Amino acid sequence: MTQRSLDSWLSYIESQHPSEIEMGLERGSKVLARLNLSRPKQKVITVAGTNGKGSTCAMLTQYLCQQGLSVGTYTSPHFINFNERISLNAIQCSDELICQAFSVIEAAREDIPLTYFEFSTLAALWVFDFSQLDYWVLEVGLGGRLDSVNMVDTDLAVITSISLDHVDWLGDDLNVIAGEKAGIARKGKPLISGVVNPPSNIAEVVSKTGAILTQKGIDFFFEKKAAGWNWHNETVNFEGLPIPSLPIQNAATVIAVLLELGVNPCQDELVELFSSAELTGRFQQVSASPDVYIDVAHNPEAAMELSSRIQEFTQPPIAVCGMLKDKDIKSVVSHLSESFSEWHCVDLSGTRGATAQDIIENLPKEKRMAHGYSSMKNAFQAAYAHAQSSGRSIIVFGSFVTVSEYLALSQ
């Protein structure tokens, strides 16, 4: 029998369920039980949140690897290659091992229909079990309580932030969303909350679960200074840490997680971590002369973070923006309308893609230095020409899809 390639497997699993997303744990849990997987040698860390999940997973992985520990990390979505979702010690998993995982899952599932994300999650768990790792770092894809990552009981849960996103699936009530994300907590296990001004029902859900809650602003604190930042809780204090390229609020949550894990980071180790940690598509500089940055910011909270980064520029940059129509385009644009000298907006393909005109219509009329394009190639070429003549930077943002199209273009 000819072995399937990874591309062939991905095409196959996309066809096995009529919906890309169907919330619930029943299908995946049945298959997981059949796989009879073991757990990592140390702990499972599960990370949920509206923003900051990817950067939190990246910093945790990098620190643990720096300590000589073995780590499997599962994230989503990917930009170019599916392999980005499953990494071993911060290195993308091979096609061969992923295909082996898919083959095992296909045999185990029999007649149980699995969504693309369920298939992917089970593959990651099989790869991690096969690789005999110290830690598993699992990023929740959507929500928390009913996300397929939650098939695995966590040893340490993390919530990075809570704001309105995926309202079609999670609703438009912050308390409801908070309850869904807190659903990753387990009885007797710690939950680290990095949420600023958290909805009250995080504590309520965690209390009912019997998990042990540690909260930013109550149990640990951080403060940004002119030349660095400080972190402290009742017993530990770190001063003069370098400002990371990833959001500082997530770095603060990572320190709380590391202390809870008992790995006891020292000042020098944290300086090394925050001086070097980066993640594709999170305010990442990808070229110079002119400077080009990519950022997946696609909701109001992420737009505010991007706006704060732009304030450090000597002159307003140029935007290349594409968004999905089920996102809060109006709010994202309102937070960033003063940040850019001009906007080059691009149509995104697919049923969820917004048009360039959808974005332009949400810009204030007096700020509407904006142009629309049907392709990333045309939008970026125009922005690039303006950047060369004006000495400005370019920021490509608005969606994982937008950043993926840019990265494909630049390969």
pLDDT of 166 over the 50 cut: no
Reported as a single tens digit per residue, the pLDDT across 198-257 is 777 788 888 888 999 999 999 999 999 888 999 999 999 999 999 999 999 999 999 999
pLDDT of 16: 79
Could you tell me the pLDDT band of residue 22, with boundaries at 50, 70 and 90? low
Reported as a single tens digit per residue, the pLDDT across 267-282 is 999 999 999 999 999 9
Structural domain for 260, as ranges: 6-276
> What three-state secondary structure class fits 202?
helix
Residues across the chain: 411
Q: Please report which helix (H) or strand (E) contains residue 241, including its range.
A: strand 237-241
Which of 245, 276, 307 terminates a domain? The answer is: 276
Mean pLDDT over the full length of the chain: 91
Q: Judge whether 269 and 275 are in contact, CB under 8 Å.
A: no
> How many CB atoms sit inside 10 A of residue 403's CB?
25
Q: Are residues 298 and 354 in the same domain?
A: yes
pLDDT of 395: 98
Burial code (b: 16+ CB inside 10 Å, e: under 16) for 37-66 equals eeebebbbbbbbbbbbbbbbbbbbbbbbbe
Q: Are residues 290 and 403 in the same domain?
A: yes
Average pLDDT over residues 19-48: 89
Overall number of domains in the chain: 2
Average pLDDT over residues 326-337: 92
Beta bridge partners of 395: 293, 319
Q: Are residues 150 and 184 in the same domain?
A: yes
Average pLDDT over residues 307-324: 95
Q: Output the furthest CA–CA distance in the chain (Å, rounded).
A: 64
Q: What is the 3-state secondary structure (H, E, C) of 306-366?
A: HHHHHCCCCCCCEEEECCECCCCHHHHHHHHCCCCCEEEEECCCCCCECCHHHHHCCCCHH
CATH number, domain containing residue 330: 3.90.190.20
CATH number, domain containing residue 72: 3.40.1190.10
Joined tokens for residue 235: 């017993």
Could you tell me the pLDDT band of residue 1, with boundaries at 50, 70 and 90? very low
Q: Percentage of the chain with pLDDT > 70? A: 94
pLDDT of 354 over the 50 cut: yes
Average pLDDT over residues 383-404: 96
Q: Are residues 152 and 189 in the same domain?
A: yes
Average pLDDT over residues 29-51: 96
Q: Are residues 146 and 63 in the same domain?
A: yes
pLDDT of 2 over the 70 cut: no
Q: Are residues 148 and 42 in the same domain?
A: yes
Q: 1 in a domain, yes or no?
A: no
Could you tell me the pLDDT band of residue 169, with boundaries at 50, 70 and 90? very low
pLDDT of 21: 57
Q: 17 in a domain, yes or no?
A: yes
> What three-state secondary structure class fits 48?
strand
